[in-house]
Amino acid sequence: MSEPIIDIALIHYPVYNKNHEVIGSAVTNLDLHDLARAGRTYGVRHVYVVTPFSDQQQLVREIVGHWQDGYGATYNTDRKEALEIIRICDDLEELLALATGNNDRKPTVLATCATPKADTIAFAEARARLLSGEQFLLLFGTAWGLTEEVFAVTDGTLPPIKGRTAYNHLSVRSAVSIILDRILGE
């Protein structure tokens, strides 16, 4: 059996703010490092950073460049290896085109959400489908979550991550790691 093909995307636009307005959120250094490291650990092919803002794209290039070509490339080769899987794209349309690549059909696109949705696919089912050869693209939101525009291009959602308390505001870095482990972990 071939290795599972899974990509993840960190959506910075369009997302909601706390007032449910559509915004573009800022890229953070920690998200780039931690998503790349988690992705590399679990065999993710690419980590896409989706933002139409040229200054945010330049920030991603500078951070990744430091670890790919700058002093960081020799200082920490593990970080260099992890950040090799980062890709930048402008919007959802470009994301879907890049994730599809040379394939005849787009991957199964699954969104993540802190609240349950009607089209939720259990982690065990997602794992079985991925291991049987289905290609996945997982979408993760920043700020206060993905917009309805994003959910409109998905094939389903994954279950929310629930802890032992009513508090439910994980960092996206934590959510990515937990979800990758539930789908791809041993």
Domains delineated in the chain: 6-184 (3.40.1280.10)
What pLDDT score does 124 carry? 97
d(CA 138, CA 164): 25
> Exposed, middle or buried, 36 (CB in 10 Å: 0-12/13-18/19+)?
buried
Return the percentage of the chain with pLDDT > 90, whole number.
88
Tell me the C-alpha to C-alpha distance, in Å, between residue 70 and each of 56, 80, 92, 94, 132: 19, 10, 30, 28, 40
What pLDDT score does 58 carry? 98
d(CA 117, CA 134): 22
d(CA 20, CA 147): 9
**pLDDT bracket for residue 1 (50, 70, 90):** low
**pLDDT bracket for residue 179 (50, 70, 90):** very high
pTM of the predicted model as reported, rounded to 2 decimal places: 0.96
What pLDDT score does 152 carry? 97
What pLDDT score does 168 carry? 84
What pLDDT score does 32 carry? 97
d(CA 171, CA 150): 19
* Mean pLDDT, residues 52-79: 94
* Other C-beta atoms lying within 10 Å of the C-beta of residue 185: 13
